[in-house]
Amino acid sequence: NIFAHLLSAGRPSTKPLRPRRSKITSERGPGPLEQIHVPVYHPTPSQARLATQLTEEEQVRIAQRIGLIQHLPKGVYDPGRDGSEKKIRECVICMMDFVYRDPIRFLPCMHIYHMDCIDDWLMRSFTCPSCMEPVDAALLSSYETN
């Protein structure tokens, strides 16, 4: 299942809408029980559904969103080699200061965030958390010009 593969990419997280692995055991033939990892989708914090229980439409919508997120530029935080940037910047999602070499993602509006923070955010809302600029419109227009 391509959707299960896309959802299971990356490290597990306890944040809503991020996939978690659920252990299910099944017996295949005469051999011993084998553990199968199935991603868990959290449409709301109090609701959990196995990826195999999602409708095809939900799977397509999530796969498209994951694809768009993966096309956003990423990098590592480097406040400046000469130390000229005196103001310590923070990720407005988690409120933690950026640390040298933190993985970051850039949005089309030029705001930056920790990659894990903004990826989780964008799974819920395709707007910049700082300026509320729609992210998907900028991405889609960049595809049309290429």
pLDDT along the chain (146 residues), means of 10: 49 46 47 60 73 84 87 90 65 94 94 94 90 78 49
The full set of domains in the chain, from first to last, is: 1-70 (no CATH), 73-146 (3.30.40.10)
CA dihedral of residues 22, 36, 10, 118 (deg, nearest 10): -30
pLDDT in tens, 7-19: 554 444 444 444 4
| Dihedral pair phi/psi, residue 21, rounded to 5° | -95, 135
Residue 41's pLDDT is what? 73
Residue 46's pLDDT is what? 76
pLDDT in tens, 117-136: 999 899 888 899 999 999 87
The 3 state secondary structure assigned to 2-22 is HHHHHHHCCCCCCCCCCCEEE
Residue 36's pLDDT is what? 63
Containing 38, the helix (H) or strand (E) segment is strand 34-44
Q: Which phi-psi region, left, alpha or beta, contains residue 19 (left: φ > 0; alpha: ψ -120 to 50)?
A: beta
Residue 26's pLDDT is what? 45
Could you give the CA distance from residue 109 to residue 80 in angstroms, rounded to a whole number?
Answer: 21
The angle formed by the CA atoms of residues 16, 76 and 142, to the nearest 5 degrees, is: 75
Residue 101's pLDDT is what? 93
Residue 64's pLDDT is what? 86
Residue 127's pLDDT is what? 92
